[in-house]
Every structure is written in structure tokens, then in C-alpha cells.
Structure 1
Amino acid sequence: MSAFDTLLQNQKPRVQAVLNILLESPYFYKTDHEEHFLFLRRYQREFAGFFEETFGWQLVSDAKCARLYKPEWFNDRITPSNRDLFTFTRRDECLAFMLLLEFFESRLEEESASVEEPDNIRFRFGDLLLYTRNRFTELFPEQASGYSDEDVRKILRPVMPQLEKYRFLVRLDPPDDERIEPDDTIYECLPALWHYSVQRISRPLGESPAQPL
């Protein structure tokens, strides 16, 4: 009997709960269900062994987030267009996501933040807008006139809801009695962003990506 089988036999309800949570969405955050998350962390070796031996999947986790990495699709009839995947296909939208990662990493450095800290990084939309506009003009100086504040807003407009949908960011609503400008909207960076790196997922930012992210 494997270590996972023993764990399942002894604590079946908790094991089943963790397995279901891991399969219900791409990311399992500690804040989703702290008790189950800590149980997963405590028995990470057993869960990781089960997924590797049974499915060939890799369980990746840190202090705030766990996810399953599935390196291969086996049903060729399910094409990328049939899957509900986090992806951008337009060049500027792909770059905007990578620039968000750059922005996130710069904020981590500025605040000397680590994944172990309880609070997540927060930022004003206006600060992201300024950073993204400046980086676009650095990347494409000959097209700088096409990256005004309003142009970059249009690029980010479809990107931000996708980042919320797939739980990379969460928008924090102001108090009911407070009205704010769009640039003052506060976003919180969720732990999944720690699992991405600009260097790993991109070629040089000036190049168009060959594949969707």
C-alpha cells in the first residue's frame, strides 16, 4: 500500500476535498480554504506522488498557492479553441500581460516582498497604466505616438477582466459612499502571479509571440 493509499484510508473526506479543489480550478489558494490547503501542504509528498504516478502531472505549491501542471493533452479531438484556457492572441495584449508580470516583479523588489508574507501586493490601475505606457514606448519608439494613455487603456481594457476571471488579480471595490476615478481603482495581485516569470514565458518583448500564452 502506497503512502497516499494509507492517507486516503485514514482521512478520506479531507483527501477527497483537496483532490476536488485542485481539479475545480487552475489555482488553489490558501485563502480559498485554509484548513484544506494546510492539509495539502502537510502531505504534499503523498499528493505529489499520487498525481505523478497516476496522471503524470506535477503538483506545484508554495505558501499561498497550489496548482497542477499538466504537460500534455491526450485527447487530440479537443483543440485549443475548445478549451477554456487563459490566453491572449493579439500582440499588444500578450505584451500587456508580460508587462504586468514585470510591473509585479518591480513592486516586489521595491517593497522587498516575499510569498511568505500574509498580505498580497496591491496597486493603483493608474500606476500600471503609466508603467505599461512607458514600456510600450521603450519597446516601440518608432510607434510611440500610438501608445498614448488612451491607446494603452484600450489595450488593457480586455486584459484586466481576463486577469480577474482567471484569478490573477482581484479588483477591490471602494466603500459605497466613495466615488473614485478609474485610475484610482485598486487591484490586489493574487498568488498565482508568483508562478509566472517574464523570462520563462517570453522571448524578447519586442518580438511577436509565436504561440498564445
Structure 2
Amino acid sequence: MEPISLYFSYSQSFKQPNSSRTFDGSVLPPESGTQYEVGVKAELIKDRLSATFAAYDITKENVATTDPNHTDFSIAAGEVKSRGLEFDLYGQILPGWNVIASLFHNDAFVSKDNTLPVGDSLVNAPGSGASLWTTYQIQDGDWKGLGFGGGVFYTGDREAELPNTFKIPSYVRADATIFYKRDNWRVGLNFKNLFGTRYYDSQGSYSCSHFC
């Protein structure tokens, strides 16, 4: 049986000073946080392919958030929480064939506040996401060192502002690469957004390929 390990972590954070300012010019109070995480790590193929599964719970106080009445300024959210699950797979399936995959579910929301609606989701915090990236490099013969790969990336929909009024839509993007590697040098070409998917990184802007 390949090695399996369990882990638990606990951490606290404190951020001072908080550089954001309110509409009346005052500085926000220091941000603080507490994080719990538990998980399992496993070697699926010894020394080659590993996987990690984790669950986490993060609580932060006085997080700088855009003031809904004065969007160029900030207010401090009383308390926000982020709870979720993460799965990661990484390593080498066969000689020359590498893979990195991830999957997550996240619930990030306002848990206590006197101004923002309790239960509203945090801005730019997708509830789910996934990615798969794989490459293969030829190991023998005249083409040794030549490699190619590709992958897909999914980001779920996100809230665009607090209070929640509209969402930034989800998207799927495909990328690819071709490269040549020998000894200590490597040259390659990367291709992002192969199919010209129009997507929004955050409020007020979108990204797409040159063929949009």
C-alpha cells in the first residue's frame, strides 16, 4: 500500500496597518483572521503521482470591502467566512507524461455586519472551479526533448458587488503549449484561450482571444 498521511493545521493572522480608507478619510481597523484545515495526502504511484484532499474553514474580521454608497472608498466588513473543499492531483503518470488537476468548492460569505447583508457572497469568490493541465515530452529517438500539452480551466460564477445584485458569469477556457527541452535550456510557445471564449476576470473588464 502506498503512503497515506493525515494532517491538521491551525493559524492566526493579523494585518496592520490596513491601507484602505473610508469616505470620511479614516483608516480601517486592523484585519485579523483564523484558519483551520484538515486533509489527507496519498501517493497513488510511489514517488511519481500524488493526491491531496483538504477541507478548510477561514474566518476574518475587518476585511476591507468596497463601500456600496461610495465605490471609490472602503468599509470594514464585520466578519466574513470561507468554507470549502479542495482536491489536487499532480505528478507523472508515465515517463514523460505529467499531469496537474484540481477541483474546489468554496462558500465565502458575510457572517456578521451592521451594514452589509449577512449571508451575501463575497465579491470575486467563485463557488466552484476546476482545472486539468497535462504535457507529454518524447523520451527517445530523433524527437527526444520535444513536448506538447494542453488543458482546460473552469471558473464558476461570482458575485460582482456587495450587496449582491448581479453575477459575473462562469466560463471554461482552453490553453495549449508546444516546447523543446534539452539539458539545462527550454524554448516553447504557449497558446491561451484557443477557442476565443469571452470571459470576465473581474467587475468591469473581460478577456478574450484576438478572434473575439
TM-score range, shorter chain: under 0.3
Choose between structure 1 and 2: higher helix proportion: 1
In the superposition, the TM-score normalised over structure 2's length comes to 0.19
Choose between structure 1 and 2: higher strand proportion: 2
Tell which structure's C-alpha radius of gyration is larger.
2
In the superposition, the TM-score normalised over structure 1's length comes to 0.19
Q: Work out which structure has the larger RCO, using CA pairs closer than 8 Å and 6 or more positions apart in sequence.
A: 1
